[in-house]
Amino acid sequence: MNKIGVVFDLDGVIVDTAKYHFLVWKNLANTLNIEFTEAHNELLKGVSRVRSLEILLNIGNVTLPEDTKQDILIKKNEDYLEYIKEMNADEILPGVNKLLNELDNKNIEYVLGSASKNAPLILKQVGLLHRFKAIVDGNSVSKAKPDPEVFLIGAEKLNLKPECCIVFEDAIAGIEAANAANMMSVGVGDEETLSEANFNFNNLTEIPTHFFDEIISE
C-alpha cells in the first residue's frame, strides 16, 4: 500500500472525555430512575447525543414526550460542558502526542472523525485543534456511527480511498462504522469489547514503532 492516512475518534482515544459523558448520563439516569451500568455505557460510546438518550430510555423502558427529551438533551450538554471548560493538555491520553509526532515525521496525514458536536471546542481546550488536517464531527454528518458516513468523509478529506485509511476507535459503534467503511480498524481499549477490530491495543502507548511501516509495506 503506497499511501495511508489515519482517522482518529476523539472521545476515549485522544482525550478521556468518555468518563465525563458517563458521569453526566449516569446522573441523568438517576433522576429518571433508570439503572445505568458501565456495561450499558458501552452502548452509548460513539453514538450521537440524540441516539444516546434513546438507548438510555430503552434501557429503562421509559417513554417521554418530545419536548422533555429536548430539555434532557440540553441539560446533558450543559452539564458536560461544565467538565469540558476545565480541560487542558493534561487530559490528552497517554501516547497521543508521541503518535501524532510519529505520523508527522512519516508524512502520514490524519483527520478527526468524531460523533461529538463539541469536538472543535475540546481539541481547542487541549491545544490539539491545529494538528488535524480536517475535523469531521457531529456537526458535519447526517448519519451517526455505526453508519460509516463520518469516516468516509474523513477519507475524502485525506484524498484517500477508504481501504487506505486506518481508524482508531474506542467504541463498538465506531469499529462497526470503520469496518462498514472498508477501512482498517484499530480498537483502543478492552479487546473483548472491541473484538470486531482488525487490531487491538489497550491504549495508544502500545502501538509498536513499526505499525505503520508494516501496513505501508503490505
In the complex, the smallest distance separating the C-beta of residue 68 from Mg ion, rounded to whole angstroms, is 27
Residue placing its CB nearer to ligand BG6 in the complex, 162 or 189:
189
Backbone angles phi, psi at 178, to 5 degrees: -65, -45
Of the candidate residues 48, 125, 185, 200, the single one contacting ligand BG6 (CB under 6 A): 48
Looking at the DSSP bridge assignments, the partners of residue 151 are none
Q: Where would I find the H helices in the chain?
A: 18-31, 38-44, 49-60, 66-84, 96-105, 119-125, 149-158, 172-180, 211-217
Residue placing its CB nearer to ligand BG6 in the complex, 10 or 183:
10
In the complex, the smallest distance separating the C-beta of residue 180 from ligand BG6, rounded to whole angstroms, is 17
Q: Which three cell numbers stand for residue 56?
A: 438510555
Of the candidate spans 26-34, 108-116, 127-135, 158-166, the one that interacts with ligand BG6 by CB under 6 A turns out to be 108-116
3-state secondary structure 93-114: CCCHHHHHHHHHHCCCEEEEEC
Check if 213 is active-site: no
Among ligand BG6, Mg ion, none, what does residue 179 contact (CB within 5–8 Å per kind)?
A: none
How far is 60 from 75, CA to CA, in rounded Å?
A: 19
Check if 11 is active-site: yes
Q: Which three cell numbers stand for residue 131?
A: 494538528
- Answer yes or no whether residue 44 interacts with ligand BG6 by CB under 6 A: yes
The three-state secondary structure class of 50 is helix
In the complex, the smallest distance separating the C-beta of residue 25 from ligand BG6, rounded to whole angstroms, is 8
In the complex, the smallest distance separating the C-beta of residue 115 from Mg ion, rounded to whole angstroms, is 8
Among Mg ion, ligand BG6, none, what does residue 52 contact (CB within 5–8 Å per kind)?
A: ligand BG6
- Answer yes or no whether residue 15 interacts with ligand BG6 by CB under 6 A: no
Q: Which three cell numbers stand for residue 86?
A: 476545565
- Answer yes or no whether residue 75 interacts with ligand BG6 by CB under 6 A: no
Q: Which three cell numbers stand for residue 164?
A: 487506505
Q: Which three cell numbers stand for residue 65?
A: 414526550
Q: Which three cell numbers stand for residue 73?
A: 438533551
Give yes or no for a contact between 111 and 4, defined as CB atoms under 8 angstroms apart: no
In sequence order, the 6+-apart residues with CB closer than 8 A to the CB of 38 are 22
Of the candidate residues 6, 7, 14, 21, the single one contacting ligand BG6 (CB under 6 A): 21
Residue placing its CB nearer to ligand BG6 in the complex, 54 or 213:
54
Residue placing its CB nearer to Mg ion in the complex, 12 or 162:
12
In the complex, the smallest distance separating the C-beta of residue 90 from ligand BG6, rounded to whole angstroms, is 20
Q: Would you please indicate which residues are annotated as catalytic (active-site) residues?
A: 9, 11
Contacts with ligand BG6 by CB under 6 A lie at 10-11, 21, 44-49, 52, 77, 114-118, 138, 171
